[in-house]
Chain A
Amino acid sequence: MKHGSPATVRSHVGTAAPGCPVERSSTAVACGKTKPAPTLEARAAGTIKLITARLKSFHRVFNAALREIFDESAYARFLSQRQLASSRAAYAAFRQEHEIAKARRPKCC
């Protein structure tokens, strides 16, 4: 596993690219160049695009959460770690390993 040194990583977090000011607003600068004001159509298209992207992202995360809660992701990781294809035997092995750990997890009241 690779880790950068703390100092190296810190210098790149929360700052803009070298030489550029920190961005303050949506109409701000990209390193000295002023953006032209977008047209109404372009703004509407941008908003729709943004909403679509957000919805897609929500759907992706929602699915991922369900897959994690219902152990489908854990099974996928199990298969990938052992380089197995999904099968009855693989699932049985996964359940055997997984259930011992799961049995120790408390469920709240």
Chain B
Amino acid sequence: MPKFLRILIWIAVALLGALALATVAFHRGEQINAMWLVVAAACSYALGYRFYSKFIAAKVLTLDALRATPAERLENGRDFVPTNKWVVFGHHFAAIAGPGPLVGPVLAAQFGYLPGTLWILAGAVFGGCVQDFVILLFSVRRDGKSLTEMAREEIGRLGGLVAYIAVISIIVILLAVCALVVVNALKASPWGTFTIAMTIPIALLMGVYLRTLRPGKVLETSALGFILVMLAIWGGQWVSQSASVARWFTFSAPALAILIIVYGFAASALPVWLLLAPRDYLSTFVKLGTISLLALGIIALRPTMHMPPLTRFIDGSGPVFAGKVFPFAFITIACGAISGFHALISSGTTPKLIRRETEARVVGYGAMLAESMVAIMAMIAACVLQPGIYFAINSPAGIVGQAPEAAALTISNWGFPITAAEMHALAQSVGEQTLYNRTGGAPAFAVGMAHIFSNSLGGQALMAIWYHFAIMFEALFILTVLDAGTRVGRFMIQDALGHVWKPLGRTSWYPSILATSGLIVAGWGLFLWQGVKDPLGGINSLWPLFGISNQLLATVALCVATTIVIKMGKARYAAVTLGPLLWLVAVTFTASWHKIFDPNPRIGFLSHAAQLASAPAANARLIFNDRLDAVVTGALIVMVGLILIESAVEWLRVLSGRKQARVKESPFVATRFAEEQG
């Protein structure tokens, strides 16, 4: 294509993106179409990928098309396999896409669609994609080393230790939050619980089919499993309509929490691969299919956004979670903008599959852009709902009251009109008894998704089916994250304890398996129980804690990245990683200060504990929970503060010439793929 035509095309993309962003940002007083968000996102991503990632690839990282990657040099057909870049892209995207980009934007929609959308776009282009890309490349140049190993080698022993503790902490808090989202989605929902319960026999059937009838035919088996799950969703309506059967599948939140804790322990400690492996495949199949379907649904329907760009809750008085738009919007949305957890995947499996260094750009930067688009879709799904409905679903009983009329009145008084009759009709249309106080984001996302799907395909008659499809989709892959995360946490604890006493590190020694599984499950189980018993719904305290720990892990990753960039002699380009790092430090440290010390009891853990303590009937457990949350937040901040100081000292020593800048890369070996295009 002639150069001038290319320039013209990119100018057109930039102008269209600017127009879409201006419409999203400055339109007031009337509703806008969701396609403006899609266009703004698509143009921002295209420009970010074409120009910013190319700049990073050429100037900062100087990707070398001639350098053999570990996938080529250490090829063993198992972990190290040179793989087509689009295949690695799909693999990487499937690993990084989880419930976070769906739930976070839904919760942040309480501020209106604008703050969350801008953060998703800017955060991804300048932060999340950069983090994923540079960590992936640095791991590729170090034979696929993990983030904690790179932190230890490039920053120091303290850096490695802090990264390790941050990873364990984030896993524990993440799993608790994930479990809480599932509990809130399934409590008092026989249809939803039945569907999820049915995935157990379906997965077992898949396991038997896969192992005995069609060994290795995973895609075929997953497709069959998907058909069975759809039948289970269809059958769920009769379960919910039959009073006697519905009773078996109707659980309170504490009962569901106990079931999930038992499930997590069993998944980690028992050899239940026949169940877990097929369910993992089924979950991935449903996840990829549903995300594609949602994208098609939004494009086909082009829905109108009913949520205003900004709501009154930017002042910090929000019912979904308390706290001002800065910093809380930026920790609530992690995975769609920047997520430290991605650094674990970018320095885990993916670098061992990259065939050529130059392909790290499309995989690291590109896959995160795709994840960010998922977050934009979740934002749209939440904002196509009438705001009154959104707040009725997401507000805890402790804020809006238990009775439907009282809740509707409170929400209407906020300026978002809703009646108890409307909420009742909506609950009926999705086959639920009530949709009030369904905190956690998943039910609101499911109603939004059902709205988009039913208006694109099947009409109102299928609203209940689509709603339960969405709930099944979220719960299924959250449970998969839960069992995988519990096992990963168990292995990490075993690895650490193995240094203390060798048998504890043996992954096949049953006493060690039971003890470490118990330890990790007790960790997230405690936070889950705390969330379930919290009168404010749990999400108010746990989701910010999760956001803080996830962003702190990103801070660690960006410290590692900045250190390596400086040691590479590219200090003049250090702003590429230092910029997002400073932003995250500002966000996470401010959010942590508020969560610990804010005098508003809805925000600050300590003031909430003090308020509880001064009440006539002080609840010792809730007070303990608040203080524990404060200690955990404080400990994370102190650790990340230490790693920041250690990194800064290292940068100064290198820049002042007191330390020789030496990166610990694997030696250069020429690639045999050099003559390929791309």
Q: How far is A105 from B65 in the complex, measured between Cα atoms in Å? A: 28
- Is A37 located at the chain interface by the 8 A CB criterion? no
Cβ contact within 8 Å between B674 and A68:
no
Cβ contact within 8 Å between B216 and A72:
yes
Provided the pairs A68-B87, A108-B96 are in contact, do residues A81 and B219 lie with their beta carbons within 8 angstroms? no
Cβ contact within 8 Å between B211 and A91:
yes
- Is A106 located at the chain interface by the 8 A CB criterion? yes
Cβ contact within 8 Å between B345 and A108:
yes
A73 partner residues in chain B, CB cutoff 8 A: 87
Cβ contact within 8 Å between B218 and A72:
yes
Among B90, B216, B339, max chain A CB count under 10 A is at B216
List residues 339-355 of chain B with CB under 8 A from any CB of chain A: 339, 341-342, 344-345, 348-349
A72 partner residues in chain B, CB cutoff 8 A: 216-219
Stretch at the interface among B38-46, B97-105, B402-410, B613-621: B97-105
List residues 12-44 of chain A with CB under 8 A from any CB of chain B: 12-13, 25
Closest A residue to B90 using CB positions: A65
List residues 623-678 of chain B with CB under 8 A from any CB of chain A: 668-672, 674-675
Closest B residue to A72 using CB positions: B218
* Residue of B68, B171, B178 touching A3 (CB-CB under 8 A): B68
Q: How far is A2 from B216 in the complex, measured between Cα atoms in Å? A: 32
* Residue of B77, B91, B484 touching A78 (CB-CB under 8 A): B77
Minimum Cβ distance to chain A for residue B627 (Å): 26
Minimum Cβ distance to chain B for residue A74 (Å): 8
Cβ contact within 8 Å between A109 and B94:
no
Cβ contact within 8 Å between A107 and B98:
yes
Cβ contact within 8 Å between A104 and B491:
yes
Contacts across chains A and B counted by CB atoms under 8 Å: 155
B610 partner residues in chain A, CB cutoff 8 A: none
B215 partner residues in chain A, CB cutoff 8 A: 86-88, 90-91
* Residue of A4, A68, A81, A95 touching B90 (CB-CB under 8 A): A68
Q: How far is A88 from B209 in the complex, measured between Cα atoms in Å? A: 11
A54 partner residues in chain B, CB cutoff 8 A: none
Cβ contact within 8 Å between B341 and A69:
no
* Residue of A65, A70, A104, A105 touching B222 (CB-CB under 8 A): A70
Q: How far is A8 from B674 in the complex, measured between Cα atoms in Å? A: 11
B277 partner residues in chain A, CB cutoff 8 A: 95, 99
How many interface residues does B have (CB within 8 Å)? Answer: 70
Among A80, A91, A97, A103, max chain B CB count under 10 A is at A103
A68 partner residues in chain B, CB cutoff 8 A: 83, 87-88, 90-91
- Is B451 located at the chain interface by the 8 A CB criterion? no
* Residue of B89, B345, B672 touching A4 (CB-CB under 8 A): B672
Mark contacts of A62-103 with chain B using CB atoms, 8 A cut-off: 1 yes-contact digit, 0 otherwise: 101111111111111110110000111011101101011101
Cβ contact within 8 Å between B488 and A6:
no
Cβ contact within 8 Å between B100 and A109:
yes
A77 partner residues in chain B, CB cutoff 8 A: 77-78, 81
Minimum Cβ distance to chain B for residue A75 (Å): 4
Minimum Cβ distance to chain A for residue B175 (Å): 9
B273 partner residues in chain A, CB cutoff 8 A: 95, 99
Provided the pairs A64-B87, A68-B87 are in contact, do residues A109 and B98 lie with their beta carbons within 8 angstroms? yes
Closest A residue to B177 using CB positions: A109
Cβ contact within 8 Å between B488 and A70:
no
- Is B481 located at the chain interface by the 8 A CB criterion? yes
Cβ contact within 8 Å between B348 and A105:
yes
Cβ contact within 8 Å between A108 and B341:
yes
B671 partner residues in chain A, CB cutoff 8 A: 3, 9
Cβ contact within 8 Å between B484 and A10:
no
Cβ contact within 8 Å between A109 and B218:
no
Cβ contact within 8 Å between A13 and B485:
no
Cβ contact within 8 Å between A94 and B216:
yes
- Is B212 located at the chain interface by the 8 A CB criterion? yes
Provided the pairs A72-B217, A109-B174 are in contact, do residues A61 and B86 lie with their beta carbons within 8 angstroms? yes
B216 partner residues in chain A, CB cutoff 8 A: 72, 75-76, 86, 91, 94
- Is B95 located at the chain interface by the 8 A CB criterion? yes
Minimum Cβ distance to chain A for residue B312 (Å): 30
A67 partner residues in chain B, CB cutoff 8 A: 219
Q: How far is A91 from B178 in the complex, measured between Cα atoms in Å? A: 32
Mark contacts of B171-190 with chain A using CB atoms, 8 A cut-off: 1 yes-contact digit, 0 otherwise: 10010001000000000000
* Residue of B345, B488, B674 touching A13 (CB-CB under 8 A): B674
- Is B84 located at the chain interface by the 8 A CB criterion? yes
Mark contacts of B515-547 with chain A using CB atoms, 8 A cut-off: 1 yes-contact digit, 0 otherwise: 000000000000000000000000000000010
A2 partner residues in chain B, CB cutoff 8 A: 672
* Residue of B222, B491, B550, B674 touching A103 (CB-CB under 8 A): B491
Cβ contact within 8 Å between B219 and A70:
yes
List residues 149-187 of chain B with CB under 8 A from any CB of chain A: 171, 174, 178
Cβ contact within 8 Å between B345 and A64:
no
- Is B266 located at the chain interface by the 8 A CB criterion? no
Cβ contact within 8 Å between B211 and A108:
no
Cβ contact within 8 Å between B342 and A108:
yes
Cβ contact within 8 Å between B68 and A106:
no
A66 partner residues in chain B, CB cutoff 8 A: 90, 219
Q: How far is A1 from B68 in the complex, measured between Cα atoms in Å? A: 12
Cβ contact within 8 Å between A69 and B91:
yes
Closest B residue to A12 using CB positions: B675
Q: How far is A88 from B509 in the complex, measured between Cα atoms in Å? A: 27
B675 partner residues in chain A, CB cutoff 8 A: 9, 12-13
Cβ contact within 8 Å between A107 and B66:
no
Cβ contact within 8 Å between B484 and A109:
no
Provided the pairs A66-B219, A106-B485, A107-B485 are in contact, do residues A101 and B94 lie with their beta carbons within 8 angstroms? no
Q: How far is A69 from B86 in the complex, measured between Cα atoms in Å? A: 12
Minimum Cβ distance to chain A for residue B278 (Å): 11
Cβ contact within 8 Å between A71 and B218:
yes
Minimum Cβ distance to chain A for residue B24 (Å): 26
A103-B487, A109-B546 provided; 20 other pairs, C-beta below 8 A? A1-B672, A2-B672, A8-B670, A10-B66, A13-B65, A25-B2, A61-B87, A65-B90, A68-B88, A68-B91, A72-B216, A75-B216, A77-B77, A81-B77, A91-B215, A99-B277, A105-B484, A106-B344, A109-B335, A109-B339
Closest 7 CB pairs of A and B: A65-B90, A91-B215, A70-B218, A109-B100, A75-B216, A107-B484, A108-B96
